C-alpha cells in the first residue's frame, strides 16, 4: 500500500478480491460494476493503421454481398465482421498481451474468442448499436462468475460528442432489463483514449452513443468467453475463405476455437486428444 493511501478498515471480512496489480483491480471493477477501462499496450502506429484497415475490410464485405443495401436489410451496416481473417493486424489486436492477461485473470486458462468485429460510428447515419443490449443477446439470467466479456478497442478516442459507449452499472447481476426511470438516472457514458480497451461483462446492459461530431469513430469489439459458448463465426473456415494464412501457434489456435469446434466424427474427436508424435 502506498503511504499516501488511507487504509480501508474492515470488520467480519474473511474473503477479499485480489489486488496485486492493475489487472486485479480491473477484475474487481468488472465483477462488481460490470465495466472497466484498461490500456491495450499496443503501439500508437498500429492503432492508427487499424482505421484504414476497418474501412477497407468493410468495403470488401459490402462487395461480397453486392451492395450496402444488403447489409442494411439485416441491420448490419457499418460493421466489419471477423476482421482478423482479412488482416493480420487484427490478430495482433485480438492477442494483445494485456487483453490475454485480463482474460486469464477473469476466466481462467481456457477461453475462446467468440467474435471480433470492426465498428464504424458515423455522424451522418443512425447506428443499430444505440439500442440497449447484452452481448449475450436474449439472455435473462445471472451467473455468480463471469462467463464472457467484451473488450472494445478504441481505435479513435471515445468522447461524449462522438458517441462513446453507455453502460448501466451492475445490471449484469439482474435478470431483467431495468425500468425507464432507472436507465435515465443511472446510465453512464464512458470516455476513453484511443488505444484503450473498454471492457464489459457480456451480461451488462450497454449501448453505443450517437455521434454528433464531424468525424467517424471506429472501434474493434471482441467477445471472449468460456469454451462451452458458441462462436459467432468459425475462424478456421474463415481464414480459408479469405485466403489468409491461419496461425500456427497452438495457443492462438485454441483461443480462436480450432480446438473447440465440433469434431467431424468419433475418430476425429479422439485424434484431437492424442499426444503429438
Task: Name the least confident of 95-99, 226-230, 237-241, 258-262.
Answer: 258-262
Q: Domain extents for the chain? A: 23-260
Provide, rounded to the nearest whole percent, the portion of the chain with pLDDT above 70: 97
Please indicate whether residue 232 or residue 101 has the higher confidence score (pLDDT).
Answer: 101
- Asked if residue 207 has pLDDT above 90, the reply is yes
Is residue 217 within 8 A of residue 211, CB to CB? The reply is yes
> CA–CA separation, 157 vs 163, rounded Å?
10
pLDDT digits (tens, 9 = 90+) for 58-83: 999 999 988 999 888 888 899 999 99
Give the count of alpha carbons within 13 A of 143, CB side only.
15
Q: What is the pLDDT of residue 103?
A: 98
Class of domain 23-260: mainly beta
pLDDT digits (tens, 9 = 90+) for 33-64: 999 999 999 999 999 999 999 999 999 999 99
Q: What angle do CA 36, 34, 22 make, to 5 degrees?
A: 35
| Residues 19-42, mean pLDDT to the nearest whole number | 97
Amino acid at each position: 500500500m502506498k503511504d499516501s493511501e488511507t487504509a480501508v478498515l474492515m470488520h467480519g471480512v474473511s474473503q477479499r478480491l485480489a489486488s496485486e496489480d492493475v489487472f486485479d483491480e480491473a477484475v474487481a471493477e468488472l465483477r462488481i460494476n460490470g465495466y472497466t477501462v484498461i490500456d491495450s499496450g499496443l503501439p500508437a502506429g498500429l492503432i492508427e493503421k487499424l482505421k484504414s484497415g476497418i474501412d477497407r475490410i468493410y468495403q470488401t464485405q459490402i462487395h461480397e454481398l453486392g451492395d450496402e443495401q444488403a447489409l442494411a436489410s439485416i441491420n448490419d451496416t457499418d460493421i466489419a465482421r471477423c476482421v482478423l481473417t482479412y488482416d493480420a493486424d487484427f490478430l495482433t489486436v485480438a492477442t494483445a498481451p494485456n487483453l490475454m492477461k485480463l482474460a486469464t485473470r477473469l476466466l481462467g486458462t481456457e477461453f475462446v474468442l467468440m467474435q471480433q468485429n470492426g465498428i464504424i460510428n458515423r455522424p451522418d447515419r443512425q447506428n443499430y448499436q444505440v439500442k440497449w443490449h447484452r452481448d449475450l443477446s436474449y439472455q435473462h439470467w445471472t451467473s455468480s462468475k463471469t462467463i464472457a466479456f467484451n473488450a472494445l478497442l478504441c481505435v479513435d478516442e471515445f468522447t461524449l460528442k462522438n458517441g462513446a459507449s453507455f453502460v448501466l452499472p451492475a445490471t449484469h447481476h439482474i435478470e431483467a432489463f431495468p425500468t425507464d426511470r432507472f436507465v435515465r438516472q443511472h446510465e453512464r457514458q464512458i470516455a476513453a483514449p484511443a488505444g484503450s480497451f473498454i471492457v464489459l461483462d457480456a451480461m451488462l446492459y450497454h449501448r453505443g452513443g450517437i455521434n454528433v461530431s464531424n468525424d467517424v469513430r471506429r472501434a474493434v469489439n471482441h467477445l471472449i468467453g468460456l469454451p462451452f459458448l458458441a462462436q459467432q463465426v468459425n475462424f478456421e473456415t474463415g481464414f480459408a475463405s479469405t485466403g489468409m494464412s491461419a496461425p500456427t501457434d497452438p495457443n492462438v489456435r485454441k483461443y480462436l476455437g480450432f480446438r473447440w469446434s465440433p469434431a467431424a466424427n468419433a475418430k476425429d474427436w479422439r485424434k484431437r486428444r492424442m499426444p503429438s508424435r
